[in-house]
């Protein structure tokens, strides 16, 4: 995932910034994120939330596996693209526009996924608490992002706050009494960098299963 850094960190988390990015050319690969495929494939389909869905490759993949998917993003342009792609594929998807800085869970899902949905602290901690609160009993929380050791996604040379995080940091926002399993992982993954060269990305992967 590549980012154009500006000198105003707050600009990275607005509808204007992301609508502009999503107009015109495709931004991401179009493939579902690998950790979602790994862990999602182990689960029996139910209801799923994909928060920060972007162009919707994850939401579409989940719907194709039989999940009833709600895709949330701040970008209306992205969500319109997701809805159009779902319609082409004859898939039913709920697309909702919301801002992670103020969004609160009003229902629960069997799977809650947020892939590379980075935010500055303390909004990041608040969002992760809300995502955890929206996991149904027995459901799974899967939060994936760039690990601080992922040099290919470092915010060097800018005034941009380092929004990378460890899975342990996210795990620390969970109450262990409420979860059967909390796996906080650092996983390496091969990818092609922005210069087209093979590289290794380092991901923070938090997978937790809520008590049934």
**Residues within the interface to ligand SAM (CB under 6 A):** 1, 13, 18, 28, 33, 52-54, 73-75, 78, 99-101, 115-117
* Nearest distance from C-beta of residue 28 to ligand SAM, angstroms: 4
For the four alpha carbons of 12, 17, 21 and 27, in that order, the dihedral sign comes to positive
Q: Which two tokens stand for residue 127?
A: 């969002």
* Nearest distance from C-beta of residue 164 to ligand SAM, angstroms: 12
Pairing of β 198-210 and β 135-146: antiparallel
Rank residues 101 and 179 by Cβ distance to ligand SAM and give the closer one: 101
122 CB contacts (<8 Å, ≥6 apart)?
none
Q: Tell me how crowded residue 12 is: count the other CB atoms within 10 A of its CB.
A: 20
* Nearest distance from C-beta of residue 104 to ligand SAM, angstroms: 13
Is 208:185 a contact under the CB 8 Å cutoff?
no
* Nearest distance from C-beta of residue 179 to ligand SAM, angstroms: 23
Cβ-closest position to ligand SAM: 54
* Nearest distance from C-beta of residue 162 to ligand SAM, angstroms: 15
Q: Which two tokens stand for residue 12?
A: 């990275």
Separation between Cα atoms, residue 104 and residue 98, nearest integer Å: 9
Rank residues 86 and 117 by Cβ distance to ligand SAM and give the closer one: 117
- Cα angle at 71 between 202 and 41, to 5 degrees? 55
Rank residues 34 and 45 by Cβ distance to ligand SAM and give the closer one: 34
Rank residues 116 and 191 by Cβ distance to ligand SAM and give the closer one: 116
Rank residues 32 and 139 by Cβ distance to ligand SAM and give the closer one: 32
Separation between Cα atoms, residue 174 and residue 191, nearest integer Å: 30
């Amino acid at each position: 995932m590549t980012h154009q850094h500006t000198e105003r960190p707050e600009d990275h988390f607005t509808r204007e910034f992301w609508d502009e990015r999503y107009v015109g050319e495709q931004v991401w690969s179009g493939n579902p994120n690998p950790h979602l495929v790994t862990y999602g494939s182990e689960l029996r389909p139910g209801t799923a939330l994909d928060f920060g869905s972007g162009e919707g490759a994850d939401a579409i993949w989940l719907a194709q596996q039989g999940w009833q998917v709600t895709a949330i993003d701040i970008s209306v342009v992205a969500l319109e693209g997701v809805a159009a792609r779902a319609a082409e594929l004859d898939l039913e998807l709920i697309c909702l526009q919301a801002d992670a800085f103020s969004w609160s869970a009003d229902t629960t899902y069997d799977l809650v996924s947020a892939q590379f949905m980075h935010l500055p602290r303390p909004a990041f901690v608040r969002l992760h608490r809300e995502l955890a609160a929206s996991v149904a009993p027995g459901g799974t929380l899967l939060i994936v992002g760039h690990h601080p050791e992922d040099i290919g996604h470092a915010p060097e040379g800018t005034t941009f706050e380092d929004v990378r995080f460890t899975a342990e940091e996210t795990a620390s926002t969970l109450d262990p009494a409420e979860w059967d399993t909390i796996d906080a992982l650092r996983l390496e993954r091969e990818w092609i960098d922005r210069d087209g060269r093979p590289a290794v990305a380092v991901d923070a992967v938090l997978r937790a299963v809520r008590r049934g």
